[in-house]
Amino acid sequence: MSHVKETLSGVFAPTVTPFVGDSLTIDFQWIEEHQRLIGSKGATGAVPSGTNGEGPSMSLEERKKLIGKALEARGGLKMIPGTGCAALPDAIELTRFALEEGADSVLVLPPFYFKNPKLEGLVNFFRTLCDKAVPPGKGIILYNIPQISAVPISFELLDALLESHPECTWGVKDSSGDPESLKKYVSRYPRLRIFAGSDRLASLAYRIGAAGTISAMANIVPDWLQELREQVQRGDEQAAEATQARIDDMRELLSIYPMRAATKYIIHLLAGLPLVKVRPPEVELTEEQMAAIKKRVEEITGGY
């Protein structure tokens, strides 16, 4: 196993992208401050330009600039940028860029425009990506989020890649939200780095030996997730149950309200960073929604 691959474990934040102004440009200073904050609160790493980062809503050049700036401001964070694109040439260009700039690995969506692709086509996509974009000693993490991409990361796909490109195939982020799916990935692929993408499955992930979590709450309360991880590791089930419940309470706000906008607003409330925008087709919170979120966050945290 690659030494870099072995280090990829713990609490990763799929970081949001701070859009500002009428032109919805990116506030790179905000990114630096946010990464410093999550690092100081126990995050192991960051995943910029993914789903929570609205990666597919940005141009290729914007994503390269975002990833480059995030890597420059990494501090002690492990970095796994999202480089999945619908077009293979774009995925190759973005993946090569991220790894050449020093990313530890990359998180790659399957090609998500054409639905129900044949296994052969998916295998060819990832094999070509590995051949053309991934240098020796580096590898990719495949992104299973079928409710968004409509293209699952199947065992057949993983088996084919492990047969032809074992050194390039490092792991899976499972954002299906299905505990049985997570358990199957972990049990079937003990040599891969399996990450849970659901905050609600964090305790389960740590308990069954997953590499860690890449989940929305790490943008906001990575210390809670790190605390949960440590509680599970030392076998303190009662404390872990209570911490998971607290995480679930906060995470529910991201289910009730527009997720990316709510995440950015809660970061603003708890960390004092400037309130930033989402990019269409995402929508902003209403004044009424912000008031409701603020009230609930105060209840969950006991005042912040």
Question: Of 132, 150, 143, which is closest to residue 90 (Cα–Cα)?
Answer: 132
Residue 3 makes CB contacts below 8 A (sequence gap 6+) with none
**Rounded to whole angstroms, how far apart are CA atoms 267 and 284?**
15
| Helix-helix angle 155-164:119-133, to 10 degrees | 40
The answer to whether 108 and 91 have CB atoms below 8 angstroms apart is yes
Of the candidates 41, 44, 138, 143, the residue annotated as catalytic is: 143
The answer to whether 83 and 58 have CB atoms below 8 angstroms apart is no
113 is annotated as an active-site residue = yes
189 is annotated as an active-site residue = no
301 is annotated as an active-site residue = no
Question: Of 119, 125, 118, 92, which is closest to residue 106 (Cα–Cα)?
Answer: 92
The type of residue at 87 is A
Of the candidates 15, 17, 44, 51, the residue annotated as catalytic is: 51
Of the candidates 113, 286, 295, 304, the residue annotated as catalytic is: 113
- Name the token pair of 27: 């506030």
The answer to whether 225 and 213 have CB atoms below 8 angstroms apart is yes
304 is annotated as an active-site residue = no
Task: List, in sequence order, every beta strand (DSSP E) within the chain.
Answer: 10-13, 19-20, 25-26, 45-46, 78-79, 106-108, 140-144, 169-174, 193-196, 212-214
Of the candidates 41, 173, 264, 277, the residue annotated as catalytic is: 173
- Residues tagged active-site: 51, 113, 143, 173
